[in-house]
Amino acid sequence: MNLEGRKIIVNKSSSALAGMLKNPQDYKDLMPEGLQKFETSEDGFKFGLKGMPEIALKIENVSDKEVVLRSASASLDFALTGNMNALNENQTEVQLLFEGKFNPFIKMMVEKPLQNFINSLTDKIEQL
């Protein structure tokens, strides 16, 4: 299952964005409304939103070109990638891409909430 967020322009350099996204605590500011739990670890974070199970993410790769967050749970195989394209020294184009391997039943249950989550993250990133 693949989902895409819309492309946005962020008024920060790609290196400034990458620097922020290396820090698990900084993801709390990007979480959508309804955040009920947020815990950080050395290499990732766990969060819970109202009406959704808790999700643990590991920050796998951060560069000036992309950020890769991968599921920390062995039972869920997915990655959320933020592609970053520097437009100039103060603006970066960002797009979120979700790739998950789910059975058809799980896909049917999670597709709409995940797309809403990606849209909400995109809106929060755009405000940076």
Instruction: Please report, for the chain, how many H helices and E strands are present, in that order.
Output: 2, 8
Q: pLDDT tens, 102-127?
A: 999 989 988 998 999 999 999 999 99
Task: Name the band, by pLDDT with cuts 50, 70 and 90, for residue 30.
Answer: very high
Are 67 and 79 in contact, with CB atoms under 8 Å apart? no
pLDDT over 90 at 98, yes or no: yes
Mean pLDDT value of segment 31-44 = 94
Domains, in order of start, for the chain? 2-126 (3.30.530.20)
- Measured in degrees and rounded to the nearest 5, phi and psi for residue 13 equal -70, 155
Q: pLDDT tens, 45-90?
A: 999 988 778 899 999 999 999 999 999 988 889 999 999 999 999 9
Residue 18 in tokens: 């990458």
pLDDT at 105: 92
pLDDT at 92: 97
pLDDT at 51: 77
